[in-house]
Amino acid sequence: MAKKLTLPEILQMKPQGRKITMMTAYDYTTGMLVEKAGIDTILVGDSLAMTVLGYDSTVFVTMEEMLHHTRAVKRGAKNTFIIADMPFGSYNASCEQAVMNASRFVREGGADAVKLEGGVVAAEVTAAVVKGGVPVLGHIGLTPQTVTQLGGFKVQGKTEEAARQLIEDARALEEAGAFGVVLECIPMGLAAEITKAVSIPTIGIGAGPYCDGQVLVYNDVVGLFDKFVPKFVKQYAKLDEIIVTGLEKFREEVQQGIFPDEEHSFKG
């Protein structure tokens, strides 16, 4: 079993030119599978609002739900660095609120760090949480919690001004003490520029190959969520087909009296 990476070891990967791998996980089983696959870090993403809980936006998931899922992931992935996503409304009111809720993810959820969305606007809160003793991963570009303000799910940083703002956002997070920053849906040239502009690692999702690491959503990667598959997602498996085929076979065998047979029954 691989040793759990520490934060300093993760931070060493950028200067060493080693890519950081990150995958979302939402429960005990997925945590266990992601750890078994040797992925460096797990993000208990608020994307679970959509992929697991069936909401049509991430904004509906609560602190209690995120804690519940973080605890489950932790039980399945005891040897992986776990980052819990702070849900919408759990860090936006004040630095005190952010520090209190971030601490809950460590104390009650077993997380090693938290992620929160926003660049310059989130710098003060980021600094407060880091000062409060909880490592923070930033998240800029397409930030799903504020997608209404962004005008929908689209590529960010396409104008010169927007690109400049994103570079400023990344620098502000670095200065605030964030240990890394997720770049979501950003043109690959700009993502490369941001990656060069900061010393902390950039973790891309839809941001091309020049980031220091990559993250994807588990359900997308294994083909469990196909309502909408974004262009940047590579499906490495089609589990939905395998699962439905297995379930259909179970239904047929029960209906036909084939299952359970002697092999799957107790004698005596």
Active-site residue set: 184
Q: How many residues sit in the footprint of ligand KIV (CB under 6 A)? A: 11
Question: Which pair of structure tokens corresponds to residue 245?
Answer: 């085929």
Nearest to 217 by CA among 101, 44, 95: 44
Asked if 114 contacts 86 with a C-beta cutoff of 8 angstroms, the reply is: yes
Nearest to 11 by CA among 198, 243, 206: 198
Binding range to ligand KIV, per CB under 6 A, among 31-39, 43-51, 73-81, 248-256: 43-51
* 215 near ligand KIV (CB under 6 A): yes
* 191 near ligand KIV (CB under 6 A): no
146-185 positions binding ligand KIV, by CB under 6 A: 182, 184
Q: Strand ranges (DSSP E) for the chain?
A: 20-24, 41-44, 81-85, 113-115, 136-141, 180-184, 202-205, 213-216
Residue owning tokens 């949480």 = 129
Binding range to ligand KIV, per CB under 6 A, among 39-47, 97-105, 164-172, 189-197: 39-47
Least separation in angstroms between residue 99's CB and ligand KIV is 21
* 217 near ligand KIV (CB under 6 A): yes
Rounded to 5°, the CA angle 213-165-202 comes to 10
* 101 near ligand KIV (CB under 6 A): no
* 141 near ligand KIV (CB under 6 A): no
* 45 near ligand KIV (CB under 6 A): yes
* 207 near ligand KIV (CB under 6 A): no
Nearest to 83 by CA among 52, 49, 103, 112: 112
Nearer CB in complex with ligand KIV: 56/263: 56
23 φ/ψ angles, rounded to the nearest 5 degrees: -135, 145
* 126 near ligand KIV (CB under 6 A): no
> Considering only residues 47, 80, 195, 202, which one is a binding residue for ligand KIV as defined by CB under 6 A?
47
* 195 near ligand KIV (CB under 6 A): no
Question: Which pair of structure tokens corresponds to residue 41?
Answer: 């870090």
- Angle between the N-to-C axes of helices 188-197 and 160-176, in degrees from 0 to 180, rounded to the nearest 10: 30
d(CA 200, CA 41): 16
Binding range to ligand KIV, per CB under 6 A, among 42-50, 75-83, 160-168, 226-234: 42-50
Least separation in angstroms between residue 116's CB and ligand KIV is 10
* 205 near ligand KIV (CB under 6 A): yes
- Report the interface residues with ligand KIV, using CB under 6 A: 24, 43, 45-47, 85, 182, 184, 205, 215, 217
